[in-house]
A = this chain, B = another copy of it.
Amino acid sequence: MDAKEILLSHLRETIDLNTEQESIVLDSYKEKYLKKKEVLLFAGEISNHMQFIAKGCLRAYHMDEEAKEHIVQFGIEGWWVNDLYSYLTETPAKQFVQALEPTTVLQIHRDALNELYNKVPAIERFYRLKFEKAYVALQDRTINSMSKSAEERYLEFRSKYRSIEQRVPQYMIASYLGITPEFLSALRKKIK
């Protein structure tokens, strides 16, 4: 299956499109190929595209004043990964987005998407639902990190995202959980 077919079946999980709409929609997205470690978005740039992962794995991370990295989100096939803040407000991104594997993404420019909202209203609904889900997932994560210990968060991450756990290095999982790799290592030893 090529990248656009993957996107199409992804869209079909949520909305209905007729043949004409499908071609309008697919024409609006462009494929982009990333090597491992290649950076798709740099902090400081304005994020101008929504991007769908057709194949591969990305991470979005924030770099604080002390140059420490904090992973905000992982993404694999079928996910949308971006610095939404930058995309939505058209201000410089606070996050980097980087490929952790050779990756294929489908991008749509903000302007093209806004046009598309008018041409194909179901797409506006699609993104409204995406934002709702993204919000809900993030809220869950925020509540979790407020009320749970690192050990609990790690166990939850493992059961929820086993496929991701197997694809990314452990120190990145630590970063996602908000702990140091050393401490995660100690936790794992204790758990076994």
Shortest distance from the beta carbon of A179 to any chain B beta carbon, whole Å:
10
Q: Is there contact, CB below 8 Å, between A145 and B142? A: yes
Is A102 an interface position by the 8 A CB rule?
Answer: no
Q: Is there contact, CB below 8 Å, between A140 and B62? A: no
Shortest distance from the beta carbon of A72 to any chain B beta carbon, whole Å:
6
Instruction: Please tell me how many copies of the chain the complex holds.
Output: 2
Selected contact of A70 from candidates B133, B134, B138, B147, CB within 8 Å: B147
Which one of A4-12, A82-90, A103-111, A158-166 is at the B interface?
A: A82-90
Selected contact of A143 from candidates B72, B121, B139, B147, CB within 8 Å: B72
Q: Could you list 15 examples of A-B contacts with CB < 8 Å?
A: A62-B146, A62-B147, A64-B148, A70-B143, A72-B143, A72-B146, A84-B132, A84-B136, A88-B132, A124-B125, A134-B135, A141-B142, A142-B142, A145-B145, A145-B146
Check A146/B70 contact, CB under 8 A, given A128-B124, A128-B127, A135-B135: yes
Q: Which residues of B contact A138 (CB under 8 A)?
A: 135, 138-139, 142
Interface size on A, residues (CB 8 A): 32
Q: Which residues of B contact A62 (CB under 8 A)?
A: 143, 146-147
Is A190 an interface position by the 8 A CB rule?
Answer: no
Q: Which residues of B contact A143 (CB under 8 A)?
A: 62, 70, 72, 94
Selected contact of A131 from candidates B70, B128, B142, CB within 8 Å: B128
Is A178 an interface position by the 8 A CB rule?
Answer: yes
Q: List chain A positions with a Cβ less than 8 A from chain B.
A: 62, 64, 68, 70, 72, 84-85, 88-89, 94, 121, 124-125, 127-128, 131-136, 138-143, 145-148, 178
CA distance A134 to B165 in the complex (A): 28
CA distance A127 to B178 in the complex (A): 31
Q: Which residues of B contact A133 (CB under 8 A)?
A: 88
CA distance A16 to B10 in the complex (A): 32
